[in-house]
């Protein structure tokens, strides 16, 4: 287990927590109320900043219940929080449903997953090693 420092930027911000012990995601809550019309997107503040340790990244993921029941997703899913970022976590919600959706202050709108990430160094080469898949792309594994 790693420690991740979290700072409230607003007094009404809710500290993320797991809904159930062992869950990978920590629930992120909105700090402001707004209405998302069908097809509309909005940046929703959480009122929080985090200090992700070096060697890790935060990934802001959608909540499946909002997606299934209301068609609410995250435009840039997963949103990436680099270890050096210290600004507010904001979530870009999109209403793909048919009805307006009300976001209330305190409503759980996304999940934060903190995971290790490899440090990589790109090495330019003239050729890549072969593989079974090769350059077959989108949909190449469907029958």
DSSP reduced 3-state for 42: strand
- Domain for residue 64, yes or no? yes
- Domain for residue 65, yes or no? yes
- Domain for residue 129, yes or no? no
Task: Report, as an integer, the average pLDDT of 113-118.
Answer: 96
Is 108's pLDDT higher than 70?
yes
Banded model confidence at residue 143, pLDDT cuts 50, 70, 90: low
The DSSP bridge partners found for residue 81 are 58
Task: Report, as an integer, the average pLDDT of 94-98.
Answer: 97
Q: What is the pLDDT of residue 58?
A: 97
What CATH number is given to the structural domain containing 72?
2.70.40.10
Task: Report, as an integer, the average pLDDT of 73-102.
Answer: 96
How many structural domains does the chain have? 1
Question: Residue 125: in which H helix or E strand, if any?
Answer: none
**Mean pLDDT across the chain, nearest whole number?**
94
Q: What is the pLDDT of residue 142?
A: 66
**Cβ contacts of 116 within 8 Å, gap of 6 or more:** 55, 56
């Amino acid at each position: 287990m790693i420690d991740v420092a979290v700072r409230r930027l607003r007094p009404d911000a809710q500290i993320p927590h797991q809904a159930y012990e062992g869950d990978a995601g920590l629930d992120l809550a909105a700090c402001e109320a707004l209405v998302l019309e069908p097809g509309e997107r909005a940046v929703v503040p959480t009122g929080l900043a985090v200090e992700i340790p070096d060697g890790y990244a935060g990934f802001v993921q959608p909540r499946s219940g909002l997606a299934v029941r209301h068609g609410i997703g995250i435009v840039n899913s997963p949103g990436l929080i680099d270890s050096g970022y210290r600004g507010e976590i904001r979530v870009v919600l999109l209403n793909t449903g048919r009805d307006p959706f009300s976001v209330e202050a305190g409503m759980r709108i996304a999940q934060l997953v903190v995971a290790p990430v490899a440090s990589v160094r790109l090495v330019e080469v003239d050729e890549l090693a072969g593989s079974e898949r090769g350059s077959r792309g989108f949909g190449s594994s469907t029958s």
